[in-house]
Amino acid sequence: MPQPILVATDLSERSDRALHRAVTLARDMDCPLVVLHVMDDAMPEDMADALRGKAEARLERQCAAVAEGVDCDLRVVLGDPTGQILKALGSDAPMLLVMGTHRPRPFLDGLRETTMMRIVRRGDCPALVVRDPGEARYETVLAACDFSPACDAAIDLAARIAPGAAIHPVHALHVPYSGMLAPSGGGVDAVAASFVQDAETRAAAWTPPVATRPVRVVTGPAQAVLWREAESLSAHLICCGAHGRAGAAPALLGSLANDLMRESYCDVLIARPG
């Protein structure tokens, strides 16, 4: 039996988009779909029982409306969202976790991880964060390219969920102290030029896991470069490798992956090597 796709929903409009995308992918890839809603276990038992029935009925209506022909396993559970989603990742071993964007909390978001970030950091399953309505198929993919195994894994999975899409690898190059060592009369910064030359040499030697467009080396902060390139391409999806160990400190997920999950131009796919 093929691995399922797991979609976590809080029954909001953001999650509706994630459900639509998960259904589209499950149908295209001919795999089952697990639809999970986690209810707060701090409420009184009688309230939880009443709300559970309403949540189950709503999930059934949603799936009946959009998931015809897809094998759907609908689940409503009580508990902590992070813990319950991680538990499902362990028991179901899905090929992909699909979630909607988090609800913005400008002050709190600057102080702590979102639920989505905790799950991606602690789990070892690739995650797709859905921002846009999910009926149309991905046609243009922007790949954050650092020539690492995590980058290869993200591009390989992007090609699987978006067969036929044009994949554009972009290497965002941070040049430390750029311009500070340039001659006072102007001219080319030799240090910056050496960084660019080294990146272009690595790009030429890199063998992507699937066919892609040529790598573009663009100087600047990674997130700003990717947003600018994604907008220029009208990209439908950005894919990015997650670095670090599952369960490690938040910073080891990678600042770029964290930034893209907080705010992105389009949908974001994050994968780990292997």
Q: Do 86 and 190 reside in the same domain of the chain? A: no
pLDDT over 90 (residue 104): no
Cα of 223 vs its chain's centroid, Å: 14
CA distances to 146, 216, 228, 256, 258 from 178, in Å: 20, 19, 20, 21, 25
Domain termination site, one of 114, 131, 148: 131
Q: Do 144 and 271 reside in the same domain of the chain? A: yes
Q: Domain containing 144 — which CATH number?
A: 3.40.50.620
Q: Name the phi and psi angles at 111, rounded to 5.
A: -105, -25
Task: Pick the closest to residue 120 from 135, 146, 101, 106 (CA basis).
Answer: 101
Q: Do 159 and 267 reside in the same domain of the chain? A: yes
pLDDT recorded at residue 35: 97
Domain termination site, one of 109, 131, 153: 131
Q: Do 183 and 112 reside in the same domain of the chain? A: no
Q: What secondary structure letter does DSSP report for 251? A: G
pLDDT recorded at residue 107: 40
CA distances to 71, 180, 188, 195 from 184, in Å: 67, 9, 11, 20
Q: Do 18 and 118 reside in the same domain of the chain? A: yes
pLDDT recorded at residue 212: 97
Q: Do 260 and 163 reside in the same domain of the chain? A: yes
Q: Do 84 and 143 reside in the same domain of the chain? A: no
Domain tally for the chain? 2
Q: Do 152 and 94 reside in the same domain of the chain? A: no
Q: Do 101 and 167 reside in the same domain of the chain? A: no
- Percent of the chain exceeding pLDDT 90 equals 59
Q: Do 80 and 37 reside in the same domain of the chain? A: yes
- Percent of the chain exceeding pLDDT 70 equals 87
The secondary structure element, H or E, covering residue 78 is strand 72-78
> And the tokens for 226?
């990717």
Q: Do 238 and 171 reside in the same domain of the chain? A: yes
Domain termination site, one of 93, 108, 131: 131
- What's the domain range around 147? 137-274
CA distances to 57, 77, 178 from 50, in Å: 11, 13, 61
By mean pLDDT, which of 21-25, 131-135, 223-227, 253-257 is the weakest?
A: 253-257
Strand order from edge to edge, sheet including 237-241: 72-78, 33-39, 5-8, 96-100, 127-130, 267-271, 237-241, 140-144, 166-173, 216-219
Q: Do 180 and 60 reside in the same domain of the chain? A: no
pLDDT per residue as tens digits for the range 20-72:
999 999 999 999 999 999 998 877 877 888 888 899 999 999 999 999 999 99
Question: Quick one: pLDDT band at residue 254, thresholds 50, 70, 90?
Answer: low
